[in-house]
Amino acid sequence: MTRRLPTLLHACAWLCAALMVVLSATAHAATDAVVPLIPQPAQVTVTEGRFTVGVDTPIVIADDGKGTASTAAYLSSLVERTRGLRLRVQHGPVPAHAIVLQRDPQAVVTQAEGYALDVTPEGIRISARDDAGLFHGAITLWQLLTPDAKHGPVTLAAMQVRDQPRFAWRGLMLDSVRHFQSVAEVETLIDQMAQHKMNTLHWHLTDDQGWRIQIKRYPELTRIGAWRTPPDAGKNGEPKRYGGFYTQDQIRQVVAYAAARHITIVPELDMPGHAQAAVAAYPQLGVTGQRPQVSIDWGVNPWLYNVDDDTFTFIDNVLDEVLALFPSTYIHVGGDEAIKDQWEASPAVQAKMRELGITSENALQGWFIDRVGQYLEKHGRKLIGWDEILEGDNLPADATVMSWRGTDGAIKAAMLGHDVVMAPAPNLYFDHVQSELEDDYAGRLGVESLRSVYGFQVVPAVLGAAQAKHVLGVQVNVWTEHMPTFAHVEHAVFPRLDALSEVAWSPAASNHWPAFLARLPAQLERYKAQRIPYADGAFAVDIAIDRNVALVTGRATVTLANQTDFGNIHYTTDGSTPTLSSPRYDAPFNVTLPITVRAASFAADGNELAAARQRVLDRASLLTVAGNTMPNCPGSDFRLRVQPLPDATSTAPVYTINVFDSCHLYPATPLDGLTSIRVDAARLVRNFAMAHDQKLVVSRPRRTPFGELVVHRDTCNGPVLASMPLPDPAHSARNFTLNAALPAQQGEHALCLIYTAPIDGALYAIGQVALKP
């Protein structure tokens, strides 16, 4: 598709953003793009005059509150780190030309977490009725002081900001079970959440693959439950064991670090399902009495907690220690994906159901969750769980539902009078990839882009006004099955968190995609200043041609575009790195093969929005197709990008797989004169717990001991053109090459490539497929 030229709306947004640092900024108007702030404040009014903040501008603490002093110190440190300005902090009296912070019970913004920020020619004042509001006002001022990547003094237009959050729950869920983050890494994420005015870290601490929180009464939870033995442990870079846990002292440290930034940590201990690590540590907690290994499989595992009194004694004792560590009102108990096979097969559990007068396992889960909820209520806390907790009949009246299976759970819960938090898959699941670019990281497909996150509607339209009041807010979920390092987490979160923060904080009426994009480049520079490795896929240039026309004619029309249709694209055709001096892309252009096209997108101020991408256009390259770009065969839409090993710390390569059907389509291509096929293949670990979906996995007959890669013409039932035996997994490398001759063909044909390997063994993926003359 041809990239559209910048619209007048884009140009206006850019101009408004630039006016922030213009000395003659004297407009009298409220505008949603006057300054590069994310999230956008509820109201910004530009007034007469300007004020310059330099090294001689003090930050003055105008009250005796510890929170004000803490915010002043944080602001000073942040400005120094990102702008190179060392602003001294002092207590009153207030001198002229200062930044004043004051907790004021009479502040003009009355809503919790709200603040007022005034810039005048005489100075800057931030006031709020609570410490959180004062902190958020300081974050807004920091953004005003970092409009670009420069260091040194900043001149601000005089303005009035009146601001408060749209939602009380503005959350991010971090999964520390599937892959473990250090305390320092968790604190880095918390710091960035604070800079986005997020206020809730939902911390996923227990699951099938590990138990991550020290419970002193039950040491086996971390001695055994915190560690798993990976598949192929100790080989090919896979560790001999994987895991870790947070000591109670570390938990206290992280909780205090978050509290200082006005973020509440809500811990999650999953129950009654996702209990395999706990049962591995204490088999008596399970249903079967057997001791499983801590799981190495992603997905849905069958291990459930028992429902006897001893199990609830364990849960109560664990909760006692958890409540002492986390002061949050809410405690998350999971409740999701508890398949009931073990309960159904257990005579003891069935007897318990008869004793209780319970006739279904879903109702038994409701009873289970209600019992935990009553314990929390006795201790002054509230239960929150995933939307499966609605499936029983005994949900505590004050329980809050976190809707993840789309929005239906939230709608049902709100209509029943329960508070809800919107966290639906796939919309707000940040383990989904952000683009279809070949170089994007591992993750689930399809794409959940920056724009789709920004466009999420938090309050379902079907809810009436009274029901809508039950929507506490919104949350993104960072599941880490495919994020083995913190670099993966940061790539997944940023800059999509900018979009979510604006959805969660700013008034719905201010939601305006072009204006958001206009403000985003300044935020990307803030990431760079703090060494946050954000993903640039929203702005990366896709280099498109008609492949078959190029193969036949040796010429191509090149179209350049990015996902957001934002920024200026510059390109080269000699393989050099594009700069602002390179040709600007305004319309498709024609080239003669062979040639190398490189392209990058730039913001209006000249800063690079995304690193240059390259496409080599010659016959060999056009006949080579990456496995990540090959679609599934018809019949199954499941697609997942994975790394070579479950705990690989690199970001590449990644392979696109379908765990239900190992079948891929090579696009229709003129096959005249092509006589062979080469496939770069990879053997991967099949570490996916499928539960009841296992029956959907397609098994195909094989002719050789370890299966084949079979190539069909046109369709997956078409004539067989080649069959390449797979090597013995026990005596071959994970990456290998398959070659075969192709019978002579004429005209354009697609190819269907199918692995016939046993489905109880390894998964096989395609790195790339090359056709050769």
Residues recognised as catalytic = 207, 274, 337
Sign (positive or negative) of CA dihedral 548, 550, 556, 561: positive
Cβ burial of 575 (10 Å; 0-12, 13-18, 19+) is exposed
Examine residue 701 and say whether the peptide bond preceding it is cis (omega within 30 degrees of 0). no
> CA 555 to CA 392: how far, in whole Å?
64
- Residues contacting residue 29 through CB under 8 Å, at least 6 positions apart: 45, 46
DSSP track, 273-333: SS-HHHHHH-GGGBSSS--PPPP--EE-----B--SHHHHHHHHHHHHHHHHH---SEEEE
> CA 135 to CA 70: how far, in whole Å?
9
Instruction: Determine the Cα angle at 735 with ends 734 and 740, to 5°.
Output: 125
> CA 232 to CA 169: how far, in whole Å?
42
Neighbours of 552 (CB within 10 A): 12
Sign (positive or negative) of CA dihedral 276, 282, 286, 288: positive
> CA 386 to CA 384: how far, in whole Å?
7
> CA 431 to CA 440: how far, in whole Å?
12
Q: Kindly report the length of the chain.
A: 773
Cα-based distances in Å from 338 to 210, 477, 613, 638:
17, 19, 44, 22
Hunting for tokens 């002054």 — which residue is that?
380
Alpha carbon 239 to chain centroid, angstroms: 25
8-state DSSP, 730: G
Q: Tokens for 20?
A: 């922030």
625 phi/psi in degrees, rounded to 5? -120, 130
Instruction: Determine the Cα angle at 488 with ends 482 and 490, to 5°.
Output: 135
Element (H, E) at 435: none
Hunting for tokens 């086996």 — which residue is that?
220
Neighbours of 104 (CB within 10 A): 17
125 phi/psi in degrees, rounded to 5? -135, 130
Alpha carbon 272 to chain centroid, angstroms: 26
Nearest to 468 by CA among 508, 512, 427: 508
Nearest to 267 by CA among 328, 314, 210: 328
Confirm if 122 and 57 have CB atoms less than 8 A apart: no
Nearest to 230 by CA among 160, 305, 179, 172: 179
Cα-based distances in Å from 39 to 76, 115, 361, 619:
21, 14, 44, 47
Cα-based distances in Å from 650 to 13, 63, 492, 675, 729:
38, 49, 15, 36, 23
Q: Tokens for 202?
A: 């939902």
> CA 472 to CA 272: how far, in whole Å?
25
Amino acid occupying residue 682: A
> CA 497 to CA 478: how far, in whole Å?
11
> CA 594 to CA 577: how far, in whole Å?
18
Amino acid occupying residue 147: P
Neighbours of 233 (CB within 10 A): 14
Question: What Rg do the C-alpha atoms of the chain give, in angstroms?
Answer: 28
